[in-house]
A and B are shown apart, each in its own frame.
Chain A
Amino acid sequence: MQKIKFYGIGGQGAVTAAKVLSIAVSVYQNEYAITVPAYGHERRGAPVYAHIIVDEEPVLLNCYVYEPDIIAVFDENLIDKGVDVAEGCTEDTVVVLNTASRETAERYREACGVKKVLMCDATHAALENIGLNIPNSAMLGALAKTGVVRIESVVSAVKEAFGKHGEENGHAAEYAYEHTLEA
């Protein structure tokens, strides 16, 4: 069982990304997932969370993730917006961060007390491939580097979920996967 928490900002598609991840593991890897979004009245611009649990067996747990194995941070500024991204992290938690800056990656490593930070400029991947600052498909590509989901599954699920924009979002995911580094 892998417990994952997404941290994003309203408009970045973090909740949609959680649903697409569920499709990727369920349809393309014959595994199981539950997703619980936690968003409020706020929409664009406010912090948004999504909780995902992935397992090879049907998932019994249907609640939030308190001790994540992986966190994916869709916006590098969240740490300065009063969001406690370190909540529940242990040194074995893997952080997947949307950033181009090694300095920022180190800041997250220290704040979360983790050993492993995967960094990817998902915003650039999105702008380059879909022409919009919506990094969710790219972040799923970066997430595939953790091994929790295969990149082929991500690309197939992204294509399925994004309809007429599926092709370019699939490219964003692949591009991000190829440009994800361990900080």
Chain B
Amino acid sequence: MAVKMFDGNGAAVEAIRLARPGVIAAYPITPQSSIAEHLADEVAAGRIDAEYVRVESEHSAMSVAVGAQLTGVRVATATASVGLALMHEVCGVAAGCRVPIVMPVVNRSLVAPWSLWCDHSDTMAERDTGWLQYYCANVQEILDLTLCAYRIAEHEDVMTPAMVCLDGFFLSHSMQRVDTPDDEAAWDFVKPYVRKNMYLDTNDVMFINDLCPTDEHSEIKYQQYVGFQEAARVTKEVFAEYEERFGRKLHTVESYRLDDADVAVVTIGSMSGTGKYVVNQLREQGVKAGLLRICMFRPFPAEEVAEALKNVKVIGVVDRSAGLGAAQGPVCTEVKAACCGTSSKIFGFCGGIAGRDISDGSFRKIFGELTDVAEGRSETCERWFDVKPNAMNIREVDVPC
């Protein structure tokens, strides 16, 4: 184990290198570009023994990834934002064909208007595509969770592709120290890729992803459903083995100072550390504040969330995507469903859109609103935080009548 310095994208590349893929197909897109570039560097330098396929789009990248991995080789790709949206169709192919591809996704807002910056609208739009999703809190976790994702996705009871989600710029371009296992120790953990399901072999041909009649399709979906249920168990087993081997504890959900908390926030991704910082500040001031971080979003750990939050009076769930038209943002919707049998009051918060910072000040405001509800000064909370008061006048156009 060595301390190395990586930015988030560098940590993703290192994890991929340690997993020794045989085929790489990636299309560069901000803020993922340095993953595509540095994977090419690693291949050129002979540190990854892979064929690098230069594709013309993300749709092609995922198509190459699915086809190549079906031959029995571990494949690497990565994307962000509209690149993921363009992959959407083929992401479904990977999931339905049970091709356990592991893909870092550097979170960036979807159009429109165009943005290069971080929010979760890209991966949240894929949340029901049939992929596992893990959201990283810091750069160390990008390495840890990517290594674990290979073991989880490729497990014979799971056979489901996995996205490792990392916040654009807040993680992808943040240089941090990363405890990195040496090559042999990592390889001993990740293990060689073994195909466990359908395969492409010119000497032994089979149909894959052909037209499936109605009288079998429900059953295929049921198989995927069971795969997700198994993934919840396998994730915990793999995290436990990872901790035993490398000494770092990973979480499906992480409780932070929740035991006696009256008010708490639920967070996901790189905002979580800032949330913990504010929890510590509030605790020093005598406020019983806590935090629950969701790392594994798919499968959603509903029972763990309900158990962790059951004694908290007022809860704020912070979504980093707009969840337009939904009763709540995607994370809050899940948390509310998980906690429907408890007496907690749960409020959704939406912010951090398209790179807007979620600062310690943001969390102090959110906790202020939650405390007001807990102490009877208020009935409800503002759903959108850190929005300009003149929001409805931004880019207003005068239309002549």
* Contacts from A to B (Cβ < 8 Å): 15, 18-19, 22-23, 26-27, 32-38, 40-41, 59-64, 66
In the complex, per-residue mask of B30-64: 1 if CB is within 8 Å of any chain A CB, else 0:
00000000000000000000000000000000000
Q: Complex formed: what's the CA distance from A61 to B138 in Å?
A: 10
- Are A62 and B173 in contact, with the CB atoms below 8 A? no
- Least CB separation from A1: chain B residue: B277
- Are B274 and A60 in contact, with the CB atoms below 8 A? yes
Q: Does B164 contact A (CB under 8 A)?
A: no
Q: Which of A22, A37, A61 contacts B169 (CB 8 A)?
A: A37
With A60-B274, A60-B277, A62-B174 known as contacts, the answer to whether A22 contacts B5 (CB < 8 A) is: yes
- Are A22 and B274 in contact, with the CB atoms below 8 A? no
Among B207-215, B300-308, B354-362, the stretch in contact with A: B354-362
Residues from chain A with a CB closer than 8 A to the CB of B176 are 22, 26, 32-35
- Are A62 and B175 in contact, with the CB atoms below 8 A? no
How many B residues are at the interface, by size bracket? 20 to 34
Between A and B, 24 residue pairs with Cβ closer than 8 Å are A15-B173, A23-B5, A23-B175, A26-B3, A26-B176, A26-B177, A27-B5, A27-B177, A33-B175, A33-B176, A34-B176, A36-B170, A36-B174, A37-B173, A37-B174, A40-B116, A60-B276, A60-B280, A61-B273, A62-B138, A62-B272, A63-B170, A63-B360, A64-B359
- Are B271 and A62 in contact, with the CB atoms below 8 A? yes
- Least CB separation from B279: chain A residue: A60
Q: Give the Cβ gap from A157 to chain B, nearest Cβ, in Å.
A: 9
- Least CB separation from A59: chain B residue: B273
Q: Give the Cβ gap from B248 to chain A, nearest Cβ, in Å.
A: 12
**Among B169, B177, B274, which residue has the most Cβ atoms of chain A within 10 A?**
B177
Q: Complex formed: what's the CA distance from A64 to B171 in Å?
A: 12
With A63-B360, A64-B357 known as contacts, the answer to whether A36 contacts B169 (CB < 8 A) is: yes
User: For chain B residues 250-287, which have a beta carbon within 8 Å of chain A?
Assistant: 270-274, 276-277, 280
Residues from chain A with a CB closer than 8 A to the CB of B273 are 59-62
Q: Complex formed: what's the CA distance from A148 to B177 in Å?
A: 18
Q: Give the Cβ gap from B308 to chain A, nearest Cβ, in Å.
A: 19
* Contacts from B to A (Cβ < 8 Å): 3, 5, 7, 116, 138, 169-171, 173-177, 270-274, 276-277, 280, 357-361
Q: Give the Cβ gap from B137 to chain A, nearest Cβ, in Å.
A: 8
Q: Complex formed: what's the CA distance from A40 to B169 in Å?
A: 11
- Are A62 and B274 in contact, with the CB atoms below 8 A? yes
Residues from chain A with a CB closer than 8 A to the CB of B277 are 60-61
Residues from chain B with a CB closer than 8 A to the CB of A33 are 175-177
- Are B5 and A26 in contact, with the CB atoms below 8 A? yes
Q: Complex formed: what's the CA distance from A38 to B272 in Å?
A: 19
- Least CB separation from B361: chain A residue: A66
Q: Complex formed: what's the CA distance from A33 to B174 in Å?
A: 9
- Are B359 and A32 in contact, with the CB atoms below 8 A? no
- Are A61 and B5 in contact, with the CB atoms below 8 A? no
With A26-B3, A26-B5, A27-B5 known as contacts, the answer to whether A63 contacts B175 (CB < 8 A) is: no
Residues from chain A with a CB closer than 8 A to the CB of B173 are 15, 35-37
- Are A61 and B116 in contact, with the CB atoms below 8 A? no
Q: Complex formed: what's the CA distance from A62 to B358 in Å?
A: 9
Q: Give the Cβ gap from B300 to chain A, nearest Cβ, in Å.
A: 24
Residues from chain B with a CB closer than 8 A to the CB of A23 are 5, 175
Residues from chain A with a CB closer than 8 A to the CB of B174 are 34-37, 62
- Are A66 and B169 in contact, with the CB atoms below 8 A? no
**A22-B5, A33-B177, A62-B270 given; 5 more Cβ-contact pairs under 8 Å:** A22-B177, A32-B177, A35-B176, A37-B173, A60-B274
Residues from chain B with a CB closer than 8 A to the CB of A34 are 138, 174, 176
